[in-house]
Chains A and B, each alone.
Chain A
């Protein structure tokens, strides 16, 4: 498709779904196609003012590690979490218009964007001399901590087909001096410094790769989270504080332990794709250690512990359409996905998605993601399930995550 064609396609979708905000359609398309930053756009990037790429747990679409804007903000406060993409792959272009960063497509200015603002703690050193942003990073309203940057599913090559965590940590270790397992007290030292900035953060977010070790599989993963949370807990006057983890699907006993011993308020265990056969293919480690039906059962059980509106699961939307095993049509993918999402929603578990971004160091990195029409229908469908089942999603919304077009729509939920 030509660049001009892509602009027309965006307008077609905007016209087709007048009930979906144009900004959310644009965001989704930018996530789908990626962005390319021109030299002018990069010339106004200032590490004192803007968040610059550096500590991603996953890689970029163009395979490079270079200083670029961490991500973008739209006028409605929505983030576009997107990845730099080679110009040959026809991404949106970020250039300047009268000095303001702007999204362009086919040479046409489309919409103004802002680079994410830099947190005040970036550039500072921990007591042991490590640059703080190497351990803790930030989204516009959220602190991001990766307490363990390795996933043991890769020990027997059973990592997910869309995942490049191991390739990224190898690059990160070499190019960015990123630690695999930062110390809990050092993490807390950085968070304490970050909290000196008024109004900057409304949640703490932790995620790691899966760690199978322990008396019961994943006990060690939970130990890592508990250790960090207990250090963080010393900083707050309330036992619970706004926080989220994306972890593996834990047993009831493990979830109870995690909930009781920490300030954690919400829980996410990403199932990645809502179909058992595709789960087995794309997430062989999860299938080996837990299994599809058990993963779902554990999500539902988590609602009893964390409460309705505090548990969800994420999809890497688009992998369900990859060849040779995926659904043959987008219509089929949509109906099968929403059918299973509804089953979860009826039991109190929300489903959210991210736009799959095919990256070079992954098994399916050479394939294409889905159409914009598909992603918009999926966003509408997941949002409508939250309306039907009255499921709030504030812990994973535009302010606390920013990576889910479907939860952007849920900003208008009246509950």
Chain B
């Protein structure tokens, strides 16, 4: 993971107000995105996504991604508008053992009578800064033709003209 973005990701993940989304594609390429309320980074730098339902589309898509080495996407967006997109490969599906039991207990503490199907470990392979304020500056600097002209109009001058009958 690029070191420059690691602190932002950690800050976003530490903030309970951050929206966490996991997006996958099915066999035919149909997109599918879900909120992942427990999403976090583990000590080894893998994203941990808790999949509560065995037969969910996300669970199947993640399995297909692991089997065929395909990527999923994770989006983290903070209340202040900071946003990061991470592309990653699911590398492990934990269904038993102490790590599974620990998360199973956490899920049930949070949701009551809930179940846990799989603890997914997703290895980040690419990170994109999607924070609008920063991306806007980047875009307008690198791609001046992407800007609509009305935004560049000198409003002061035209207003003065308009005022004169």
Which residues from chain A sit less than 8 Å from chain B, CB to CB? 21-24, 73, 75-77, 114, 116-117, 140-141, 197-200, 394, 399, 411-412, 414
Contact = CB atoms under 8 A, between A and B. Distances in A.
Nearest to B95: A77
B96 A21 contact: no
Contact of B105 (A73, A75, A198, A394): A198
Contacts, number: 53
A56 B8 CA distance: 51
A199 B116 contact: yes
A23 B66 CA distance: 10
B63 interface: yes
A51 to B, nearest CB: 10
Nearest to B116: A199
A117 B96 contact: yes
Contact of B67 (A23, A114, A116, A199): A23
A117 B118 contact: no
B105 A76 contact: no
B92 A75 contact: yes
Given A75-B93, A199-B115, 18 more contacts: A21-B68, A24-B67, A76-B63, A76-B66, A76-B67, A77-B94, A77-B95, A114-B97, A117-B98, A140-B95, A140-B96, A198-B101, A200-B96, A394-B54, A399-B95, A411-B60, A412-B27, A412-B63
A414 B68 CA distance: 18
Contact of B91 (A24, A75, A140): A75
Contact of B96 (A23, A141, A411): A141
B47 interface: no
A412 B97 contact: no
A259 B108 CA distance: 32
Interface string B116-156: 10100000000000000000000000000000000000000
B97 A117 contact: yes
A197 B115 CA distance: 14
A140 B97 CA distance: 7
Given A21-B67, A412-B60, A77 B105 contact: no
A412 B64 contact: yes
Nearest to A392: B55
A77 B97 contact: no
Interface of A is mostly: loop
B66 A75 contact: yes
A399 B117 CA distance: 10
Given A23-B67, A399-B54, A411-B60, A77 B98 contact: no
A22 B100 CA distance: 24
Contacts of A24: 67
A44 B93 CA distance: 22
A64 B156 CA distance: 92
A205 B100 CA distance: 21
A199 B60 contact: no
A394 B93 CA distance: 17
A198 B95 CA distance: 12
A363 B63 CA distance: 40
Which of A77, A116, A197 neighbours the largest number of chain B CB atoms within 10 Å of its CB? Answer: A77
A69 to B, nearest CB: 13
B5 to A, nearest CB: 26
A77 B101 contact: no
Contacts of B108: 198
A114 B98 CA distance: 13
A198 B102 CA distance: 8
Given A75-B91, A75-B92, A411 B100 contact: no
Interface in B49-69: 54, 60, 63-64, 66-68
Contacts of B104: 198-199
Nearest to A22: B67
Contacts of A198: 101, 104-105, 108
A309 to B, nearest CB: 13
Contacts of B67: 21-24, 76
Contacts of A116: 96
A262 B105 CA distance: 30
B93 A199 contact: no
> What 8 A-B pairs are tightest by C-beta distance, nearest first?
A199-B104, A140-B96, A21-B67, A117-B97, A77-B93, A77-B95, A75-B92, A198-B105
A394 B63 CA distance: 16
Contacts of B115: 199
30 contacts: A21-B67, A21-B68, A24-B67, A73-B96, A75-B91, A76-B63, A76-B66, A76-B67, A77-B95, A77-B96, A77-B118, A114-B97, A117-B96, A117-B98, A140-B95, A140-B96, A197-B101, A198-B101, A198-B105, A199-B100, A199-B101, A199-B104, A199-B105, A200-B96, A399-B54, A399-B95, A411-B60, A412-B27, A412-B60, A414-B60
